[in-house]
A and B are shown apart, each in its own frame.
Chain A
């Protein structure tokens, strides 16, 4: 089962128990695979047409009426088009609006530069009190859906729609706000977030192991609030922190880690992410390569940085 199927099934499961759960689309019901929710709860599903700003305003009104609305659109529109509506009518108003921004970064692939959000985390991170999650596989997404529904305030959920992959075995405890150590290591710590970069981090750790560098890998499915205890713990255990994200370096996950450590436990932080560039069309494989996000490109850079420190 892929991400969007998990998303919709989780919502249906939640909605069966709680009549406050409702869903909104902006003419991307087909793309997000949410039709089963419409079939099961026709009175609680609203297609707002191609009008993301209005969708977020309606979602805020539903939340003001006591509902728990989940609204979805592509990440580019969620973050850029409807930012003020999400900011003011949702977050500033203290309401419970849950917003899915899909196809982040290179996963927008053939939709290209207009649809490729490399900056959504930077925008969203600046919203006070917002919960931001970026799960790396369907299992962890499924585990996070209920805590997200009942977390206080707004949520930004960043994930691709179509892809399938398995990082977790399916019996792990996934807690909102708590990172998950996927691999132990003693030299460096790779903190990764999201569907694209957690697998690259695991691959990079394997490559580094071959060079005699022991790398731990942690999945930060929750970007905000950042699991600062875990970051500080591993900043103490290893020589440096590496961050990996499918987002521009400016204002992203690596920035959040660096900002925190700079004033609590200053250690070298090496960030893998997109350099000050716009998106473009291409396969996901081409894009990962072009923006320097692959394990094969990252591992030598991490290794060289690590050796310079020694």
Chain B
């Protein structure tokens, strides 16, 4: 995964709360191998309306959404759909916990903003998308002459900037993990299952 620090792109506003994972990608598309690309499935059923913002505006890479974005299932395919459609950040007042973790694991920023900032961004983008700049170093969103702060877990910020892969990081701790497992097997042997039938 490639890291990034500053992203400049056109932002589109999606004026809806509770965009759930089943809307982000309906279940029927999830058997597709990733290599085939998931962008075409993004918000598939909402896009049957030709006036839906993502149909009217292509060339966008930042989504401004309502509260509780990505609520619902653990399907990482919801993030694949956003990422493969070119998105690098979603700006919203709150996110589903699992969705946000999945996003960071794929280089997509879940940027949490206050309700007021969300409302201002929404008003600014109401008519059409506009160019904005997201800076992970300063945790700010800049558009025109205005700047809004955003929140993201510090460890996630570092991960996004460095494009770190957890498996590589974890394997540095192999000795500690092995020692922990041995200790657990000794103190609570029953946690290691052996079927009795």
Task: Specify whether A and B are partners.
Answer: no
